[in-house]
Amino acid sequence: MIEDNAVNLELTVVLLEQAGCEVLTATSADAGLRLAAGERPDLILMDLHLPGMTGYEATGRLKADPATAAIPVVALTADAMRGTDARAKAAGCDGYLTKPLDIEALRETLRRLLPSRQQGAGGGGEPRG
């Protein structure tokens, strides 16, 4: 997860861990790109408004790199203005979630983008992201 707001980061990490995910975090796009290249997570939640480099640009870089291009990226933003979802998709995002985070929308996104993951007890390996 790449998120610069400490409160949003902490809340989302708790929700992801409750869903059975192992969570890796970065608070800047640069740090997130390095983490993604080194760890190859199963999914990345990407804040779109990050200091220094936007989430749009970071997503574009991830998708342009053969080593990280296949990792699903989900935009996570408080910007629910018309067209933001289309802009995120154009940047390469595979999903779009708004803040405050809707727990059921997060679960559905995890089910959709991590199809090999078993929900609930007895599931397979923990997805990382």
60 and 92 Cβ atoms separated by less than 8 Å: yes
Burial per residue of 25-43, b for 16 or more beta-carbon CB atoms within 10 angstroms, e otherwise: bbbbbbebbebbeeeebbb
List, for residues 1-32, the tens digit of each pLDDT value: 999 999 999 999 999 999 899 999 999 999 99
Q: What is the DSSP string of 1-17?
A: -B-S-HHHHHHHHHHHH
68-120 pLDDT, tens digit each? 999 999 999 998 788 999 999 999 999 999 999 999 999 999 999 997 754 44
pLDDT the model gives residue 104:
96
Q: What is the pLDDT of residues 106-124, one digit of tens each?
A: 999 999 999 775 444 333 3
Q: Where are the domains of the chain?
A: 1-19+29-39+47-76+90-95
Supply the angle between the helices 6-18 and 103-113 in degrees, to the nearest 10: 60
pTM as predicted: 0.88
The CATH superfamily holding the domain 1-19+29-39+47-76+90-95 is: Response regulator (3.40.50.2300)
Rounded Cα gap, residues 57 and 7, in angstroms:
23
- Whole-number pLDDT of residue 34: 98
- Mean of the per-residue pLDDT values for the chain? 91
